[in-house]
Amino acid sequence: MKHTLIPVEEFISRRKVFAEQLPDNAVAIIFAGQEVTRSNDTEYLFCQNKSFYYLTGFNEPDAVLVIEKNTTRIISTLFCLPKDPLAEVWHGKRIGSDNAKTEYGFDYAYSLDELTPEIEGIIANKQTLCFCQGQHLDNDARVFSWLELVKVKSRQGISAPVNFINCAPLIDEMRLIKSDAELQIMRKVNAISGRAHQRAMEATQAGVFEYQIEAELLHEFARNGARFAAYNSIVAGGNNANILHYTNNCDELHDGDLLLIDAGGELAGYAADITRTFPINGKFSAPQKALYQLVLDAQLAAIEAIKPGTNLAALNDICHNVLTEGLIALGILKGEFTQLIEDKACKQYFIHGLGHWLGLDVHDVGDYQMENKRQNRTFQPGMVLTIEPGLYIPADDHSVEPQWRGIGIRIEDNILVTDQGHENLTKNAPKSIAEIERVMQSVVASK
Ligand code: GLY
Ligand code: MN
Ligand code: MN
């Protein structure tokens, strides 16, 4: 199905911007994703290769995009699955090369049956060959096999490319800065996912199982058009929250515990990545409240500082300062502030990074460093990142007082860097203690 939320002109323009970065007399080959077997003859739901999707909006498996750059011309050619009435009765409609050309704005489109003979001619006499090296070994092998077909023709005066470029970093950099159309989708998927978090809060009570809350999330995503979760949802009651990528989601929820939910929908390929932590019985205990407010203060301070020109390391420093000061005040860290900062002592409890780029992938592409890796990446308008501080104190951590044990908290929002500063895309998922308790109490009152 054609992308309905991003106009075809934007995909055409992306291919042009990409190609303009290639040297003259170059050809780039970019592969679509493939179906992946789950077991025997069933497949996982198809997920397109996100960089291929970024350049095409084309959502069928096995296709190949070929972009040629000459001094005077840029040519985009798509090879895709052929129309096949029998296969389409079983597996669904295919777009076919004729429709692909007109609806997706390619200069040429052919059936995949024609790939091998055509590609040989396209590669012949090009100087530079570009592909996303190392991402998929089978695809690398296909490229090198096509190269061999051209090389053997040297006696006929045909030359093969001698320069090779990994084109992934070029596409990654483009994907890092989101367009207005992309941001509209990201706002929408955040709104859907935020509502799903509120619905999960409303459905939570002792005796319910984690998978039942997961079902609430998935239903809310899907009924709003975000049919898939962007990643496996983490629904972690009590001490399970101290397993960072807990996805078993099979335990019963208990009175007095917190529930950590890290879940986001995927809409038109774009991910939301939201975490909320809240009390299963609707009311934070005093220790839960103290730790929650500390994580929230750290998150708000980091978000507040987001603007063009700053970077993730600076936000990390802000976050470490808030957490360290708070952990000293609560008696969890002992020692002198400056020394504890120097020792990065809060990392004992804040055991992951502060955030990451977000977009078509949940951990989106784009370099975190610049200037040949010597410098942290400076924020620019159009970047979207998560801010997700946490504190994790496992149940068996006997170095702290019993009241803190078994508490895991993370709070995660999705933030757009704007000209003026930032926009928090995660607007409607309750986050303050008062808001969370109000949402949960109003449900208790209505039961
Ligand atoms: N949901 C994965 C992450 O927060 O990075
Ligand atoms: Mn995240
Ligand atoms: Mn997350």
User: How much of the chain exceeds pLDDT 90, in percent?
Assistant: 93
Angle, alpha carbons 251-252-258 (nearest 5°): 95
Model pLDDT for residues 224-239, shown as the tens digit of each residue: 999 999 999 999 999 9
CA of 412 from ligand 2 middle (Å) equals: 7
Q: What is the pLDDT of residue 25?
A: 97
Which atom of ligand 1 lies closest to the CA of 263? 1
Which amino acid, residue 225? G
Which amino acid, residue 17? V
Does the beta carbon of 273 lie inside 6 Å of ligand 1?
yes
Judged by its nearest atom, the ligand closest to the C-alpha of residue 276 is: 3
Give 447's pLDDT tier (boundaries 50, 70, 90).
low
CA proximity to 128, closest of 184, 170, 90: 170
Does the beta carbon of 231 lie inside 6 Å of ligand 1?
yes
CA of 358 from ligand 1 middle (Å) equals: 10
pLDDT at 444 over 90: no
Q: How far is CA 300 from CA 109, 144, 176, in A?
A: 49, 50, 23
User: How much of the chain exceeds pLDDT 70, in percent?
Assistant: 99
Angle, alpha carbons 38-42-46 (nearest 5°): 70
Q: Which of 412, 413, 415 to mutate to test the pocket of ligand 1 (most atoms within 8 A of CB)?
A: 412
Which atom of ligand 1 lies closest to the CA of 410? 4
Residue 379 phi/psi, 5-degree rounding, is -70, 140
Sign of the dihedral defined by the CA atoms of residues 153, 158, 164, 168, in that order: negative
Q: Which of 350, 361, 363 to mutate to test the pocket of ligand 1 (most atoms within 8 A of CB)?
A: 363
Residue having the nearest C-alpha atom to atom 4 of ligand 1: 273
Model pLDDT for residues 28-38, shown as the tens digit of each residue: 999 999 999 99
CA of 338 from ligand 2 middle (Å) equals: 29
Residue having the nearest C-alpha atom to atom 5 of ligand 1: 363
Angle, alpha carbons 256-275-198 (nearest 5°): 70
Does the beta carbon of 182 lie inside 6 Å of ligand 1?
no
**In the chain, ranges of CATH 3.40.350.10 domains:** 3-175
Residue having the nearest C-alpha atom to atom 3 of ligand 1: 273
CA of 390 from ligand 1 middle (Å) equals: 12
pLDDT at 443 over 90: no
Does the beta carbon of 361 lie inside 6 Å of ligand 1?
no
Give 375's pLDDT tier (boundaries 50, 70, 90).
confident
Distance CA 413, CA 134 (A): 32
Distance CA 65, CA 67 (A): 7
Which residues fall within 8 angstroms of residue 234, CB to CB, at 6 or more apart? 245, 246, 247, 249, 260, 261, 262, 263, 275
Give 3's pLDDT tier (boundaries 50, 70, 90).
low
Angle, alpha carbons 188-191-193 (nearest 5°): 110
Judged by its nearest atom, the ligand closest to the C-alpha of residue 358 is: 2
Residues lining ion ligand 3 (Cβ < 5 A) are 262, 273, 275, 412
Q: Which of 190, 262, 295, 357 to mutate to test the pocket of ligand 1 (most atoms within 8 A of CB)?
A: 262
**pLDDT mean over 161-165:** 96
Which residues fall within 8 angstroms of residue 184, CB to CB, at 6 or more apart? 5
Does the beta carbon of 413 lie inside 6 Å of ligand 1?
no
Which atom of ligand 1 lies closest to the CA of 352? 5
Give 2's pLDDT tier (boundaries 50, 70, 90).
low
Cβ-in-10-Å burial (0-12, 13-18, 19+) of 208 comes to: middle
Distance CA 428, CA 314 (A): 27
Give 445's pLDDT tier (boundaries 50, 70, 90).
confident
**In the chain, ranges of CATH 3.90.230.10 domains:** 177-446
Q: What is the pLDDT of residue 371?
A: 74
**pLDDT mean over 361-374:** 88
Q: Which residue has the higher pLDDT, 373 or 265?
A: 265
Does the beta carbon of 262 lie inside 6 Å of ligand 1?
yes
Residue 348 phi/psi, 5-degree rounding, is -60, -30
Which amino acid, residue 410? R
Distance CA 37, CA 61 (A): 13
What residues are labeled active site? 41, 245, 262, 273, 352, 356, 363, 388, 392, 410, 412
Residue having the nearest C-alpha atom to atom 2 of ligand 1: 273
DSSP state letters, 89-133: HHH----HHHHHHHHHT-SEEEEGGGHHHHHHHHHTT-SEEEE-T
Tokens 């996303």 correspond to 132
Provide the 3-class DSSP secondary structure of residue 351: coil
CA of 295 from ligand 1 middle (Å) equals: 16
Distance CA 189, CA 268 (A): 9
DSSP state letters, 239-298: GGGGSTT-----SBP-TT-EEEEEE-EEETTEE--EEEEEETTSS--HHHHHHHHHHHHH
Model pLDDT for residues 66-119, shown as the tens digit of each residue: 999 998 999 999 999 999 999 999 999 999 999 999 999 999 999 999 999 999
Does domain 177-446 fall into CATH 3.60.20.10?
A: no
Residues 139, 30: contact at Cβ < 8 Å? no
Assigned fold of 3-175: Creatine Amidinohydrolase; Chain A, domain 1 (3.40.350)
